[in-house]
């Protein structure tokens, strides 16, 4: 669609266009704009949202997906100045580069339309050809990183001289990791994702005649209420059913609901969708079907008889949703397993909220147990790269059963019939994933989660669940750092001592990684293992100390039992890295409560 609004001599043009059409034009981000600020959470959320909308369907039949608007005005050179939407446009540009690179990694030739969406030749007014990138960053903090990514130089030799450069390098890494995790080594679904992205993902491009007008529009569409228009249909539906005497009360409730959703940075439609899954017997529902579902299920929801009570229920759910995202229970009390979920999932992971919202009627001790089981299962799904759309379907289906549970016996039966079979089915893949886990296989926050959980488990086995051991944030926080036992930049002595390896990335294996106190890590540096051993003995973390010695306190103590399977290493080489990774893989089965493998006696 194309709209033209003329006011005197001022003209505003608005186009509804897909990503392929967006990148048929050239854009420049002027030097007065702020730098690229998106971090892992924002990039992952955009990628996950797009992929969730595709939902594994035939890209040709999948619904269109709207991701926002951009505001532009023509510059003197004939390209568009990007006034609003720089974060989204930069991320899309980096994603296109990542798709190209990932397809080439798989030995395939990228689609013919992809290269011109990254860079193309433009002829200027003098008839001279110019090679231009579709997106040109002119602010100083951007450096040349976007050009290097566009020119297929990757980010290997680049240095994060500014926060903006670091963020763009991270966005590229997140995109490549996402593509590898979601589509593995099969180029066909990856091509399907590219086709869906460029043909079905849409933006509104608003073009004005000058910067002043563009900035005014930028101010208007970034007003606090933007993004909640999709909920207005439901709001209007409630007001139609309410008596005039309830208007003020309903208005205040709705404002508080909007404020709660806005403050936690959530998409209103995702909240509504997960609310429906957690509250009603619905297994499948797309975001574009939400309003239609509400309008057709008036009797089930009960909003016609009491719109105010329904709005209160929505608000109560939104508050619980916010608390769970923050690692707390529905009343705002700390919950160690929900805190773990926050560390594991980052801000982008949301699917677990379906089950936790469905189970919030449970007594405290039962909800606590549910949270522990959800954390374990969610990690298994994540580390085995189970498609998010598949386990989201499971959670929606299981929520129907979970709402009916009220006793410990019923919850135990539910876990036994749903969670354990799901984990058992993935048992071999779990072992394989842990045995092949590298630092670059997962996001950094998730790597810290894995190391923290493994380390914490030994301390809990030795000392029990006490304040210093029961909170995972103590282990994943800034007080501890990831130590490469064989250093990333080894000194000659360390290289000679370690010997040769058939795996060029042996140092990135989790078997070569440990958590250490920040103060200790400063003294480890690139030393050889023979000199690191005595330093490891100073660590308070038993799993780290067990590298060099078997901690002993008395006879047959809890500590002895906790470390009985952890044999210290007198030397460090490729074989020891693999041996330790096997030990950690076995420990992981205990930590995440993996059942016996499918088919095992």
Confidence of residue 159 (pLDDT cuts 50, 70, 90): confident
Q: Where are the beta strands (DSSP E) in 152-293?
A: 201-208
Q: Between 185 and 176, name the one with better pLDDT.
A: 176
CA 194 to chain centre: 19
Has residue 418 got a pLDDT over 80?
yes
Overall pTM > 0.85: no
Spell out the residues 6+ positions from residue 234 whose beta carbon is closer than 8 angstroms to its own. 272, 290, 291, 294
Instruction: Identify the pLDDT of residue 33.
Output: 65
Q: Where are the domains of the chain?
A: 2-221, 229-422, 434-591
Which of 65-69, 92-96, 287-291, 518-522 is modeled with the greatest confidence? Answer: 92-96
pLDDT tens, residue by residue, 10-19: 577 888 999 9
pLDDT tens, residue by residue, 563-585: 788 889 999 999 999 999 999 99
| Averaged pLDDT for residues 226-230 | 44
Query: How many other C-beta atoms lie within 10 A of the C-beta of residue 114?
Result: 19
Lookup: tokens for 369: 């147990």
CA distance 508 to 31: 39
Could you give the angle at which helices 307-325 and 229-241 cross, rounded to 10 degrees?
150
Instruction: Identify the pLDDT of residue 288.
Output: 78
Q: How far is CA 176 from CA 180, 325, 389, 459, in A?
A: 6, 26, 19, 35
Query: How many other C-beta atoms lie within 10 A of the C-beta of residue 338?
Result: 25
Instruction: Identify the pLDDT of residue 194.
Output: 95
CA distance 518 to 498: 24
């Amino acid at each position: 669609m194309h709209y033209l609004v003329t006011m005197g001599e001022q003209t505003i043009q608005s186009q509804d266009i897909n990503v392929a059409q967006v990148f048929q034009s050239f854009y420049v981000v002027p030097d007065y704009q702020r730098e690229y600020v998106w971090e892992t959470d924002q990039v992952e959320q955009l990628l996950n949202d797009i992929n969730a909308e595709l939902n594994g369907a035939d890209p040709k039949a999948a619904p269109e997906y709207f991701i926002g608007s951009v505001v532009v005005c023509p510059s003197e050179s004939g390209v568009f100045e990007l006034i609003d939407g720089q974060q989204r446009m930069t991320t899309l540009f980096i994603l296109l580069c990542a798709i190209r690179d990932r397809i080439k990694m798989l030995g395939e030739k990228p689609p013919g339309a992809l290269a011109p969406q990254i860079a193309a030749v433009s002829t200027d007014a003098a008839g001279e050809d110019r090679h231009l990138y579709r997106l040109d960053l002119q602010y100083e903090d951007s450096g040349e990183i976007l050009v290097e990514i566009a020119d297929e130089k990757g980010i290997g030799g680049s240095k994060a001289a500014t926060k903006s450069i670091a963020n763009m390098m991270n966005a590229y890494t997140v995109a490549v990791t996402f593509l590898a995790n979601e589509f593995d080594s099969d180029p066909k679904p990856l091509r399907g994702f590219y086709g869906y992205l460029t043909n079905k993902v849409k933006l509104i491009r608003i073009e004005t005649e000058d910067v002043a007008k563009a900035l005014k529009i930028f101010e208007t569409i970034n007003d606090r209420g933007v993004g909640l228009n999709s909920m207005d249909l439901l709001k209007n539906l409630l007001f139609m059913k309410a008596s005039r005497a309830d208007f003020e009360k309903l208005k205040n409730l709705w404002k508080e609901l909007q404020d709660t959703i806005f403050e936690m940075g959530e998409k209103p439609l995702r909240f509504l969708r997960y609310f429906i899954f957690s509250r009603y017997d619905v297994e499948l529902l797309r975001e574009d079907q939400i309003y239609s579902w509400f309008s057709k299920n008036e009797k089930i929801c009960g909003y016609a008889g009491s719109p105010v009570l329904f709005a209160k229920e929505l608000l109560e759910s939104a508050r619980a949703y916010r608390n769970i995202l923050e690692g707390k229970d529905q009343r705002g009390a700390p919950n160690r397993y929900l805190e773990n979920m926050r560390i594991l999932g980052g801000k982008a992971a949301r699917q677990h909220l379906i089950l936790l919202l469905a189970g919030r009627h449970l007594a405290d001790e039962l909800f606590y147990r549910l949270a522990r089981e959800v954390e374990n299962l969610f990690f298994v799904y994540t580390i085995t790269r189970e498609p998010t759309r598949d386990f989201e379907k499971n959670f929606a289906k299981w929520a129907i059963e979970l709402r009916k549970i009220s006793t410990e016996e019923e919850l135990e039966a539910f876990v036994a019939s749903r969670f354990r079979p799901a984990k058992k089915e993935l048992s071999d893949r779990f072992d394989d994933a842990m045995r092949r886990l590298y630092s670059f296989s997962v996001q950094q926050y998730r790597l810290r989660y894995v190391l923290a959980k493994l380390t914490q488990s030994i301390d809990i086995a030795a000392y029990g669940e006490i304040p210093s051991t029961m909170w995972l944030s103590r282990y994943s926080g800034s007080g501890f750092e990831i130590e490469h036992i064989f250093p990333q930049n080894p000194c000659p002595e360390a290289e000679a001592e370690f010997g040769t390896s058939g795996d060029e990335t042996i140092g990135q294996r989790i078997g070569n990684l440990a958590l250490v106190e920040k103060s200790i890590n400063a003294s480890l540096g690139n030393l050889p293992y023979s000199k690191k051993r005595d330093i490891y003995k100073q660590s308070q973390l038993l799993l780290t100390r067990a590298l060099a010695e078997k901690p002993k306190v008395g006879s047959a103590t809890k500590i002895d039992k906790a470390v009985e399977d952890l044999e210290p290493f007198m030397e460090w080489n490729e074989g020891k890295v693999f041996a330790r990774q096997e030990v950690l893989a076995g420990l992981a089965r205990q930590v995440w409560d993996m059942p016996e493998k499918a088919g095992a006696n």
